[in-house]
């Protein structure tokens, strides 16, 4: 993947290209995060972009950052373009605060293997996949170096190894629980269940802890549909998910799981259009707002103009 920056903004001092986002550092003080239309699955960036995907994720994150700013301050300053967020640069804590309200995903696989502990948290006996925990559990993960996988870690190890101080970690836990409660409340209002998610935090130069990155998007969170949830649990049926799981399922049907020697299947125009529409449906389901796609033509010039205007006139 080309690592050269697409833009050269006023005051630009650094650039980093992630799988799906490009991050520009401005004067060592601010970040310009451009949500691209690239899409990844199984740690692989797929060969064709998905029109509107970057805008969908950026605007869902914006929706929730604004809605939770009374709980904890966050890095966001403005969204000068539908695909862009500009915010404070913070020194990130080297842990991701993963919180789970239900026995799903990685937690369910751990449980199925016979283990009854995850990240130092005891898991009760007698649970079925997708059952709710009596109280949401926090199962942190280390933030891995580029190209490596995150690893589970306990609260005790984080503090003992000095990755985060005890006082800061207690604050991160408090923020995580409050953010998740707000996220679950907002999801319920939309007929959804926020199953699990992750939060990342950083510290500003004055010592303030802030929420960073995206929150409550379908790329960082798992949602179930509330309607019929209990009936499906009672019958032992699979829950209906609201996420990009459908992309992974399509890839697996084509024989691709990101393993060595496997070739990414061809993404037809029809498939790309279908994925684009599904992301737009996700936007409305999660936010309750109609999606208004920005013009695709001239998107690069549009983003540059909007960001430059913000940086030079703020």
How confident is the model at residue 284, as a pLDDT? 94
Q: Enter the DSSP assignment of 68.
A: T
3-state secondary structure of 265: coil
How confident is the model at residue 144, as a pLDDT? 62
How confident is the model at residue 1, as a pLDDT? 54
Q: Contact, 55 vs 49, CB < 8 A?
A: no
The second-level CATH assignment, the architecture, of 91-242 is: 2-Layer Sandwich (3.30)
Q: What is the pTM of this model?
A: 0.92
Q: Contact, 61 vs 275, CB < 8 A?
A: no
Say how many C-beta atoms besides its own lie within 10 A of residue 133's C-beta: 15
Block residue for tokens 């033509």: 297
Those residues with Cβ within 8 angstroms of residue 218's Cβ, 6 or more apart along the chain or in another chain: 57, 60, 242, 243, 244, 282, 286
How confident is the model at residue 7, as a pLDDT? 94
Q: What is the largest CA-CA distance in the chain?
A: 59
Reduced 3-state DSSP string for 16-47: EECCCEEEEEECCCEEEEEECCCCEECCEECC
E-state strands within 27-178: 30-35, 40-41, 44-45, 76-81, 84-88, 91-92, 95-102, 117-118, 121-122, 132-138, 141-142, 151-152
Domain range list for the chain: 91-242
What are the beta bridge partners of residue 151? 142
Could you list the pLDDT tens digit for every one of the 314 residues in the chain? Answer: 567 889 999 999 999 998 899 999 999 999 999 999 999 888 889 999 999 999 999 999 999 999 999 999 999 999 999 999 999 999 999 999 999 999 998 999 999 999 999 999 999 999 999 999 999 999 999 976 555 567 899 999 999 999 999 999 999 999 999 999 999 999 999 999 999 999 999 999 999 999 999 999 988 899 999 999 999 999 999 998 888 878 988 998 999 988 888 999 999 999 999 999 989 999 999 999 999 999 988 999 999 999 999 999 86
């Amino acid at each position: 993947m080309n690592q050269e920056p697409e833009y050269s903004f006023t005051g630009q001092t650094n650039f980093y290209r992630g799988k799906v986002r490009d991050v520009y550092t401005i004067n060592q003080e601010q970040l310009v995060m451009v949500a691209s239309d690239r899409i990844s699955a199984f740690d692989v960036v797929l060969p064709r972009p998905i029109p509107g995907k970057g805008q969908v994720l950026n605007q869902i994150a914006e929706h929730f950052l604004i809605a939770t700013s009374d709980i904890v301050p966050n890095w966001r300053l403005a969204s000068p373009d539908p695909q862009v967020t500009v915010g404070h640069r913070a020194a990130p804590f080297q842990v991701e605060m993963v919180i789970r309200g239900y026995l799903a995903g990685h937690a369910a696989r751990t449980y199925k293997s016979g283990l009854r502990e995850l990240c130092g948290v005891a898991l009760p006996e007698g649970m079925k996949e997708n059952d709710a925990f009596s109280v949401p559990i926090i199962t942190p993960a280390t933030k891995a170096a580029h190209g490596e996988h995150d690893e589970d870690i306990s609260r005790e190890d984080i503090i003992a190894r000095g990755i985060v101080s005890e006082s800061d970690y207690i604050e991160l836990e408090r923020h995580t629980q409050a953010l998740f409660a707000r996220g679950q409340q907002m999801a319920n209002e939309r007929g959804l269940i926020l199953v699990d998610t992750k939060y990342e935090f950083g510290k500003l130069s004055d010592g303030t802890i802030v929420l960073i990155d995206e929150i409550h998007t379908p790329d960082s969170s798992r949602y179930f549909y509330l309607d019929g949830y209990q009936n499906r649990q009672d019958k032992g049926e699979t829950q209906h998910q609201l996420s990009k799981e459908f992309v992974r399922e399509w890839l697996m049907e084509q024989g691709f799981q990101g393993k060595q020697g496997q070739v990414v299947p061809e993404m037809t125009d029809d498939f790309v259009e279908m994925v684009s529409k599904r992301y737009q449906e996700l936007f409305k389901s999660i936010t309750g707002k109609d999606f208004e796609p920005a013009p695709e033509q001239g998107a690069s010039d549009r983003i540059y103009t909007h960001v430059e205007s913000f940086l030079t006139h703020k």
